[in-house]
Structure 1
């Protein structure tokens, strides 16, 4: 649960972090304080909210599998890694 909260907070702060990094890289540390004081924090927050909503909508609209299907995680077999995949339930396949 804490991972989800941290990820969403990071999405909200990402535009601000990029802006601050850009200011420090272009202006330098001497002039950065005044630039950061004049930063458009409201617009950076709005951009973070839009980014968070977009990411949540994209991940919410993609489906993992159908009911009756189970995720088979990657396994190490015979010296090779077999990638993860969605495995159909044998009983529900009807065949």
Structure 2
């Protein structure tokens, strides 16, 4: 779950990171000056769009097959065997 949350946070912040890096490289000014005229609304929209695409992709391509049977986690010989979908 933490992995998915970190992926979502990274994908949302990616437009801000790219913009900040580009502006620092292009203008070479102080980091605070870069964000004075930043197109924050467009960066938020791009971040939300990337976040939605990432979430849809993770939902579509992760997990077990539809209609499968869930077998919960068990302890065998003192070792936890994770749950799975068959």
Q: Same fold (TM over 0.5)?
A: yes
Please name the residue that 2:47 is paired with: 48
Tell me by how many angstroms 1:8 deviates.
1.0
Please name the residue that 1:7 is paired with: 7
| Unmatched tracts of structure 2, length 5 or more | 70-85
Please name the residue that 2:29 is paired with: 29
In structure 2, C-alpha distance between the alignment counterparts of 1:64 and 1:36, rounded to whole Å: 40
Please name the residue that 1:61 is paired with: 60
| Unmatched tracts of structure 1, length 5 or more | 69-88, 90-95
Higher Cα radius of gyration: 1
Q: How many residues align?
A: 70
Tell me by how many angstroms 1:63 deviates.
5.8
TM-score, scaled relative to structure 1: 0.58
Q: 1:23 to 1:12 in 2, by over 3 A?
A: same
Secondary structure of 1:37 counterpart:
coil
